[in-house]
Amino acid sequence: MGLFCATPLLAQTGKTVTGTVKELQVPLVGVMVKEEGTDNSTFTDDNGHYTLTLQHDDAKLIFEQLDFPIREEEVLNRSVINVSFTKEEESIQLKDVVINAGYYAVKDKERTGSIARVTAKEIENQPVNNVLDALQGRVAGLEITSTTGTAGGGYSIRLRGQNSINAGNDPLFIIDGVPFDIGSSSSATVSGSVIPSGKVNPLNTIDPQSIESIEVLKDADATAIYGSRGANGVILITTKKGTKNKTSFNVDFNTSINHITKYVDLLNTEQYIKLRKEAFSNDGITTYPFNAYDVNGTWDQTRYTDWQRMLIGNIGSNQTARFMVNGGSEYTSFMVGANLMKESSVYFGDFYYNKTSIYSNLNHTSTDKRFNFNLNTSLGLDRNKLPHTDLARVSRSLAPNSPSIYTNDGRINWENNTWNNPIATLESVYNNKTYLVNLGSSLNYKITDDLSAKINLGFNQTELTEFQINPHTRLNPASNASSLESSSSYRNLGKRNSWIIEPQLNFNKTFKENKIDLSYGFTFSKAETEDLSLYGFGFLDNSLLKRLSAAKTLRILNEANSFYNYMATYLRINYSFKNKYFINLTGRRDGSSRFSPENRFSNFGAVGAAWIFSKENAFSNSNWLSFGKLRGSIGVTGNDQIGNYQYLDTYSISDGLYEGNVSLNPSRLYNPNFSWEKNIKREIAFEIDLFKKLHLESSFYYNTSSNQLVGYSLPATTGFYSIQANLDADVVNKGFEFLLSSHVINSVHFSWNVNMQWTFPTTYLKKFPDLETSTYRNLYQIGYPLSIYKFYKYTGVDSETGLYTFEDFNKDGKITSTDDKQAIVDLTPKWYGSLTNDMKYKNRNFNFTFYWSKKIAYNEWAGTSTMGTFNNMPVASLDYWSEDNPNASHQKPTSGTNAAAVSASSQFKQSDAVFSKADFIRLKNIAISYQIPSKKDQSIKAKVYLQGMNLFTITPFKGGDPEQTSGYLPPLKRLSIGTTINF
C-alpha cells in the first residue's frame, strides 16, 4: 500500500508554475492548463489566474480555450508563465479548435472530412425560438426554409440537395449523442391550414440558448461512420456543460415585438368597385345580381378595410426569461438551466405560443483521471394556441368594402347574412402540446494510456397532443347548420420514443512521426411510434369539445403502432504522418428492420485524405502563407428513410362490418427484394490562410443516389395501385461551396471580423427507366431537379378576345390535356449565401448578417380567384384588357358568367405566369450589446443588448415574402431588447 501511495510523489518534481491568461488584457476564465502527456491539469479562475504543480522536469504546458487555438509553452526554468491570446492568433478558422465529429473528435486543421461549425456566440446573437432559424445562412450547403411564420411551425431542411425521389431527405439530428427524430407526429387533418402539412417541428422544444455548438457533417468521410442514418448528412447539437470553477449564476431577460415582413399590394375600394363594375359590363349584365352585395348598394361602396393589417397585421410580443447555474471542482462539474417564454400572435384574436424547458449537465472524473461520467438531460414543453385557419390567404381575398367584423354591441356581424365573417372562423381553434425528454449519458474508462473503452446511452421521447375544436358558433346563426349538432372536435395523439446503446473501443498511439487512431464499436437502437386520431361531433355543450367521450358520434380516423429496430458495427482507422499527411478509413455494416431478412444488412464505407502542404519545406519560411490544405473524400452510404413495414403484406381495418364482424382489407403487397438506396458521395476541397488574416475555402461535391425506392404502378386487376420497390434511377447533387473569413482589424480596443459563405447547388434526375410511359411522367424530367412543377406555358393576352393564351404543345387545337403542361418551373435556389460582420470596440459589440438567395417563387397571382369576381385582387390587375388597352398584361374581367374567361383564368393559375423572380437580400439578424463597466473586484457583470431579425429585405418580388410565398403567414420581423447578468 505504501508503495502505491508513494508512486505519484516520486513522479512529482515539486515545482509549481503560476500565471495569468488574458485576451487583449482581459482575464480569461475557465482556460484549461494541462501538463503535456499527463492528466495533471487545472483551470484559470475569475481573474484568469492558475497554479499547477508539475510532475516532470521537462514539462510543457498546454493552454486550451474554446474559440482559441491550443497554445503550448515550454516550462524550462520559468516559474511564472503568462499567456495572452490575440484575435490574430485565431488564424480565422481556429485550426487547433477541436471539432466534434460524433464518434470521435478532431482538430479543425487535421480533419479530412467536410465539417462546419456554428458556435454558441453565433446563436446567442439571434432572437430565435428554434435552432433551425439560427442555422439559416450560417453553413454552406445547408438550405433551411420555414414553411410558415406561425410560431411552432415546421421547416424544410436540405443539406446538399434532395437525394431521394420518395424516401426521406432530412439530415440526421443528434443531440448530446442521442438521435433526435425531427419527423412530425402531427396530423394535417387536425392542424388544418395554420401548420402547413401538419409539420410541427420537435426541435421547437429545444432552447437555442442552451446550445454550446453545432457541427454539420456533409461529405462521405464525415458521415460514413453513421452509415445509412447519415445518408443526407448529420447535424450534431451539443448543449452547454458545467465549468470547473466556483458556482456562478447567469440570468437573462428579454422582450421583443414581432410583425410580418411584407404585405401584398391589393386594390383599394375605389379600384375594386371599378374593376367589379367593368366585369359585369363585359358580361353584358346591366342589373347587378341580388348577391353582388359589394356593388349593388347593399354594402357601403366608400368603406375601406385593409384586411391584411386587420387579420395578420397585429404586433405580436415575446417575453423570455432564462436562468443558469454552473460550477464545479477539479473532478466534478455541473450545469442547470431553465427557459420560460411566452409569445403572442400577429393574428387577430387571443392566440399564443408558450415554451418551457429545463436542461442540465453533470460531469465527473475520477481522481486518477481514468474514469469519466457525463450525463445530459433536456426536458421541454410547448403549448400552442392558434386559429384553425391561416388567415393570410383570407386577408388577401376579402372585398375591401366588406362589412365590419363586429356589430355596435360587440357581437359577430353577419350583415344580414350577406357574408362569411372571417372572425367567425377564429372560433375554430387549434391547440397543441408537445413534451420532450432527451437523456444522453456516456461512460469512459482509460484502460491504458493508449486504449480506452466508452459506452454511450441515450433515450428520447416526444409526445404531441393536439386538438381542433369547431363550436357551432363559427356558423351563421341563420344557417340551418348552426346548432350544437354541428359542433365537432378532432384529437390527435402522437408519441415517439427511442433508445440507443453504443459501446466503443478507442486506441491511439504516437510513435516517432506517426500517429494512429482506431475506433471500433456497435450501435443498437429501437424506436416505437404510436398514433391515434379521433373525430367527434354532436356535443351537448361547447365546453365539452375537448372531451370526445361527450360526442354523440365518435370515429377513429387513424390508429397505428410501429417499431423500428436498427443495429450496426463500425471501424474507423485514422493515420497521420508528420502531422501533415492524413488518411481516414471508415467501414460500417448496417442492419434495418425496414427491409426483409434477405436484404436487411448492407455494408458502407468511405475514405478521406488530407495534405497540409503549408508544412512542406517550400513554404516553411513563407510570409504570406499561414496555412494550406488539400483534402478529398469518396464513399458510399445507404438510406432507409422509407417508413416501417414497407416490404410486408399489410392490412387496414375496413369502416364497415361483414356479417357483424370487423373486416380487413389488404393495403400493401409483399416484396422481399426491396433493399437499400445507395448514395455515392465525392468531394475535393482546398483551404488556405493568407497573412494570418484571410481564410479561403472552396469545395466541390458530386453525389449520386441510386437504387431509388419508389412505388411501381400495377395493373388495376391486381387490386393495388403500386408496389414499393427499387428503381434503377439516379439522382445527382453537385455544387460548389465557397467560404471567406478575414480579421480585417485586430487592435487592443477594436476588432472587426468578416465571414462570407456562398453555395451554388445543382440537382437533377440523371436516369429514370421508361419515364415517359410511367405515372411519374408529369412529375419529373430527365436533366431537371426533383422539385420541378409542370405548368401551361403562358403566352400573353389575345389582343382581340382579351383572354389569356397558352402554348398548345401537343398541337391538338385546345388547352385541355396534361400533355400541354410542359413548361418546367424549378423552385430550388440557383445560389444562396450570407455575409456576417462582427465588430467589437472596448465593451461594445456590433454584429449583423445579410442572407441572400437567387430563386423564383409563387407570385401574388397564385391562389387568386377569377379577376372580376367577388374577391380582391393584386394592384397589377388594373392593367386589364379593354378596347382602349388591347396590349394589357391581364385579361378582361368577368363576374364569373363568361365561361371562356373563367376557363382561361383557371389555366392562368396553372401556368408559369404565377411565378416570378424572387431574388432577395435580407438583413437576417443584427445584434448590438454593451458590457456595463464594473470594478475589478466586483463579481457582478451585466450586459444590455438590442437584437433584430428579418428587419428589412431588398427584392424585386411583388408578391408576399420572397422566402416563403405559398399563401401561408410569412416570416416575422423581430426586434428584441434584453439584459444578461452574471454573478
Cβ atoms < 10 Å from Cβ of 259: 15
Calculate the CA 285 to chain-centre distance.
Answer: 53
| CATH 2.40.170.20 domain range(s) in the chain | 122-242+249-268+304-397+425-787+827-863+909-982
Task: Output the CA angle 406-412-413, nearest 5 degrees.
Answer: 65
Q: Over the chain, what is the mean pLDDT?
A: 90
Residue 862 DSSP code: T
- 717 has a pLDDT exceeding 80: no
Residue 380, pLDDT above cutoff 80 = yes
Question: Could you please report the per-residue DSSP string of 79-94?
Answer: SB--EEE-GGGGTTT-
CB burial of residue 647 (10 Å; 0-12, 13-18, 19+): buried
| Nearest to 42, CA basis, from 81, 93, 88 | 81
Q: Taking phi first (over 0 means left), then psi (-120 to 50 degrees means alpha), and beta for anything else, what does residue 770 get?
A: left
Share of the chain above pLDDT 70, in %: 95
Using DSSP's 3-state secondary structure scheme, residue 130 falls into coil
Enumerate residues 6+ apart whose C-beta is below 8 A from 621. none
Instruction: Look up residue 842 and give its DSSP letter.
Output: T
Distance CA 140, CA 138 (A): 7
Distance CA 221, CA 835 (A): 28
CATH of 2-85, one of 3.40.190.80, 3.30.465.10, 3.10.450.750, 2.60.40.4130: 2.60.40.4130
Q: What is the pLDDT of residues 184-199, one digit of tens each?
A: 778 878 887 788 766 7
pLDDT tens digits, 285-339: 999 999 999 999 999 999 999 999 999 999 999 999 999 999 988 889 999 999 9
d(CA 212, CA 236) in angstroms, rounded, equals 11
Q: What is the pLDDT of residues 890-946, one digit of tens each?
A: 999 999 999 999 999 999 999 999 999 999 999 999 999 999 987 765 678 899 999
Q: What per-residue confidence (pLDDT) applies to 96?
A: 59
Task: List Cβ neighbours of 623 (8 Å cut-off, separation of 6 or more).
Answer: 691
Please say if the pLDDT value at position 101 is more than 90: no
Nearest to 110 by CA among 586, 581, 618, 616: 581
**Superfamily holding 122-242+249-268+304-397+425-787+827-863+909-982:** TonB-dependent receptor, beta-barrel domain (2.40.170.20)
pLDDT recorded at residue 24:
67
Please state whether 94 falls in left (phi above 0), alpha (psi between -120 and 50) or beta.
Answer: left
The whole-model pTM stands at 0.89
Q: So what's the pLDDT on residue 369? A: 86
Residues of the chain with CATH 2.60.40.4130: 2-85
pLDDT at 58 over 90: no
Q: Which cell is 904 given?
A: 382561361
pLDDT digits (tens, 9 = 90+) for 230-258: 899 999 999 998 887 788 999 999 999 99
- The helix/strand/coil state of 282 is helix
| Residue 10 in this model has a pLDDT that exceeds 50 | no
Amino acid at 310: M
Query: Which cell is 738 given?
Result: 465557397
Cell 501511495, located at residue: 5
